[in-house]
Amino acid sequence: MPASPVDMSRYILGRILQLVPVLWLISTIIFVVMHMLPGDPAELMLAGAEGGAITPERLAELKREMGLDDPLLVQYLRFLANAAVGDLGDSVRFRLPVAELIADRFGSTFALSLCGLAISVAVGVPLGMVGAMRQNSAADTLTMALSYVGASMPVYWLGLLLILFFSFNLGWFPPAGADDWRSLVLPSTTIGLVAAGLIARLVRSSMIEVLREDYIRTGHAKGLSAAAVLWRHGLKNAMIPVITMIGLQFGGMLAGAVVTETVFSRPGVGRLVVNAILAKDYPLVQGCVIFLALVYLSVNLLVDIAYAWLDPRIRYGR
Amino acid sequence: MATFPAELNEAEAEPVRRAPSVLSRFLRSRSAVAGTVMLGAWVFVALAAPLLAPYDPTETVALARRPPTAAHWFGTDLLGRDLFSRVLFGSRISLQLGLISVALGALPGIALGLVAGYHAGLVDTLVSRFVDALLAFPSILLALVVIAALGPSIQNVMIAVGVASVPQYARLVRGSVLAIKQLPYVEAARVIGAPSLRVMWRHVLVNAYAPVLVLSTLQIGNAILVGSGLSFLGLGAQPPIPEWGLMSAEGREVLQRAWWISTFPGLAILSVVVASNLLGDGMRSAFDPKMRM
């Protein structure tokens, strides 16, 4: 049933409003955790981010710049007010606005996640379908074993194996960097294959359930070809839970690009946050994590909207 | 299949089929048995590492970056340490990481879920909103925030991974408690005036153990995966600890010339995580195939 624009608008508005308290709570948790650090945060940041000797002048300057002398409540309210308008503070190490640093790198992380998602769907959906159609056969056992291994594999290890084989042995793709499309192949294959394992398992179980439905039997009974039944009725219905999973995977890839970007030395938001933690650049850590959480929540919101559009029962809260 | 003894039955009575017990369903599941054997083998390796390892895992015993040979089955690392011995000792770190972080996540998570599910109303609303906010947040980010605050170390990784799993336990237990507290025996316990804590502990929690046990088993593998990933990034175990993620990272720079340094520790992680997932899935099928995590 096509959704009426009024219903959909009301649903979307409601979901966006639900996002506000979640974002506030997440930002507050991050703020509290980052301010529980033992010792003087300004000294820690200077020692970590800038290295060398800490001069009293630079310490005082940093405290003034970041308002660290103010009471915690004042700092918290200022942090919330600034974050609400997209001001995530300045990085101690780069001496640049955090939002600017993230904006420079987000394109790379987004491209990586999008290609990873495409690979996970291209590999996971057919594997799951084979498993469902040939249930308990040797092909099913093999595809499920593969998906099991994929889902249990450390991402960085798979990345290293791909570098070893496709970069060092075959010389097909560069092992690091983000210069052209070739440098995107191995990192996106890495995150794509790990996610494909989960997608394959879900497609298989969802498809097995759908294939037992009466309308599938009806399709066969009225003489449709096996392929038509599978494509037109089976896959379409089995994909509804899979779409949710794919959306979650995409959000997870954007937020979890941390490891892959480090393995392949890609300049993305994930690598930025790891380097910020190692350099004790707390405003940058805080800003990156809030940004990644916002992206993750936004992707989930889009998935929910797509889902509500596909299935009106969700829109009406039934 | 069990039947009543003939003398207790009427002549025409049908043999009675009993539903297979949880244990027999567990033993019939190939994945559960395979997971148990694999995980059991790793536990044995962890306990007997000093007896099984041919060399000290932190001492230089040969030339650096030697490929696998009869003397050094997995080769040697950047400092000439025996990689096989380091992988064996690494199982101690990883299994500890899995078990301790599961405990650190499960205990507060169970308590939160129990309180929220048992006491409806404001307590439930507050706890549930808090848990929902944490669940709307990828666990790797939560772990990174904790590491950023506490600093990189293997102990802090255990805390970070544990904290990141608290909301999953809370949600799972809350759901089970909501269902169980409606059952007649819980109502009866409340009617006869048993104190809340006693009812929660003796009647509600003991009956919600199955999904918690399954989640914990699956979570052991996940904790090892996330924890070793943090160590790989330099945010967890620090040298010279023989931690598998850190060992893989050490081999990264010399991957082309010494593939074995990163490969064997990664293979060890893969086998432990597969074992924990097989065991967890097998337990889920044995308890209730429709159980949702």
Least confident of A39-48, A94-103, B65-74, B150-159: A39-48
Least confident of A55-64, A111-120, A196-205: A55-64
Q: What is the pLDDT of residue B277?
A: 92
Which of B129, B233, B270 is opposite residue A259, by nearest beta carbon?
A: B233
Give the count of Cβ contacts less than 8 A between chain A and B: 125
pLDDT in tens, B249-264: 999 989 999 999 999 9
B144 interaction partners in chain A (CB closer than 8 Å): 258, 273-274, 277, 285, 289
Question: Is B148 part of the contact surface with chain A (CB cutoff 8 Å)?
Answer: yes
Question: Is B253 part of the contact surface with chain A (CB cutoff 8 Å)?
Answer: no
pLDDT in tens, A243-261: 888 888 888 888 778 899 9
Q: What is the pLDDT of residue A164?
A: 95
Residue labelled with tokens 């979570």: B219
Of A36 and A89, which is predicted with more confidence? Answer: A89
d(CA B109, CA B169): 5
pLDDT-derived band at A103 (thresholds 50, 70, 90) equals very high
A155 interaction partners in chain B (CB closer than 8 Å): 229
Of B124 and B157, which is predicted with more confidence? Answer: B157
Name the amino acid, one letter, at B24.
S
Residue B293 has pLDDT above 60, yes or no: no
Q: What is the pLDDT of residue B141?
A: 84
B263 interaction partners in chain A (CB closer than 8 Å): 160-161, 164
Q: What is the pLDDT of residue B73?
A: 96
Residue labelled with tokens 């916002």: A294
Q: What is the pLDDT of residue A52?
A: 62
Question: Is A170 part of the contact surface with chain B (CB cutoff 8 Å)?
Answer: no
Most confident of A141-145, B79-83, B205-209: B79-83
Least confident of A125-139, A222-236, B48-62, B246-260: A222-236
A164 interaction partners in chain B (CB closer than 8 Å): 255-256, 259, 263
Least confident of A113-117, A313-317, B133-137: A313-317
- Distance between the two ends of chain B, CA-based, in angstroms? 31
Closest B-chain CA to A141: B31
Residue B77 has pLDDT above 50, yes or no: yes
pLDDT-derived band at A122 (thresholds 50, 70, 90) equals very high
3-state secondary structure A136-159: CCHHHHHHHHHHHHHHHCCHHHHH
d(CA A27, CA A87): 13
Question: Is B156 part of the contact surface with chain A (CB cutoff 8 Å)?
Answer: no
Instruction: Enter the ipTM.
Output: 0.86
d(CA B6, CA A237): 51
Compute the nearest-CA separation of A222 from chain B (Å).
32
Are the beta carbons of A195 and A116 closer than 8 angstroms? yes
Q: What is the pLDDT of residue B291?
A: 62
Please answer yes or no on whether A29 and B229 come within 8 Å at the CB atom.
no
Contacts of residue B206, defined as CB under 8 A and 6 or more positions apart, other chains included, come to none
pLDDT-derived band at B2 (thresholds 50, 70, 90) equals very low
